[in-house]
Structure 1
Amino acid sequence: MNIDEKIKRELNEQSSEIDEILAEEKGIMDFVVGSYRSSLKIWFIIVNVGIAIMTGVFIWAGYEFFNAGNVSDQIFWGVCFLTAFIVQVAGKQWIWAEMSRSSLIREIKRVELTLNRHLDQLK
């Protein structure tokens, strides 16, 4: 058997394994819930509470902006609105980045285990 046939056979075997892995792929809610089970769960809780507070602040600041009597008050409430909005977006980006990081680590571990299993079979 030449190298091309070995490669084709190996790719066919791996494609069935990849199909099994994709079949067990989790949805977005599983990733979110999994984040609260990680070692950073207290940070996820703190950041989500901060996001909820900032949502309230930017809604309140937006309301005050449109009800302000003069330009200096509008500038103040506009800056408060933008600041709260930016803080909220930054918190959400951190959460998504951490979820992505944990998902990537999980995939790397899965590849590592697969490689170890294949190396053991070759021995």
Structure 2
Amino acid sequence: MSIDDKIRDQLERENALLRAQIKQDPSLFGMLADAYKGRLGGWMVLMTLIALLLTAIIVWSGYEFFFVESSMAAKLHWGIGLLLATMMQIAIKMWTFNEMNRSATQRELKKLELAIQQLNQRLGDKTK
């Protein structure tokens, strides 16, 4: 077996390990479910309820603003309500995705810690 064949075999084994690792990583919905199970799961439930309430406010304000005939002051009232509810909805979504990102980063750090520990054990075994 030539050195090229050895290198090719090693690369194929590493690719297989990478593919297995990628399959283990959770999907977007899996990451969202993990965020509900984490430390801040109660806050995630609260933010979801608030987001649903804001969605109803956005729909109602949008309907009143665009389709109901009223005075300019009333249109201004509904327009401001629509903008504020939309901005709050965006803030909640950003917090939710940041929480998912924090959980994913924490999971990757744990994997790195485990890999370092295993490497240290292997190196310790070789020196004995």
TM-score bracket for this pair, using the shorter chain length? 0.7 to 0.9
Report deviation, 1:20.
2.8
Q: Which residue of 2 aligns with 1:53?
A: 53
2:30 counterpart residue number: 30
8 Å CA contact retained: 2:34, 2:103: no
Larger radius of gyration, structure 1 or 2? 2
The higher relative CO (CA closer than 8 Å, separation ≥ 6) is in 2
SS of the aligned residue for 1:39 comes to: coil
Identity of aligned residues (%): 25
**Which position in structure 2 is the counterpart of 1:79?**
80
Which residue type is aligned with residue 79 of structure 2? G
Give CA-to-partner distance per residue, 1:53-96, whole Å, 9 cap, x none: 00000110111112141111111100000000110111011001
Letter in 2 for 1:119: N
- Segments of 5+ residues of structure 2 without an aligned counterpart are 1-6
Amino acid in structure 2 at the alignment position of 1:37? K
Q: Give the structure 2 partner of residue 106 of structure 1.
A: 107
Q: Which runs of 4+ in 1 moved over 3 A?
A: 11-19
Q: TM-score, normalised by structure 2?
A: 0.81
Q: How many residues align?
A: 114
Rounded to whole Å, the distance in 2 between the matches of 1:74 and 1:100 is 39
Contiguous gaps of at least 5 residues in structure 1:
1-7
Q: What residue number does 1:20 align with?
A: 20
Q: Over aligned residues, Cα RMSD in angstroms?
A: 1.7
Q: What code does the residue aligned with 1:82 have?
A: L
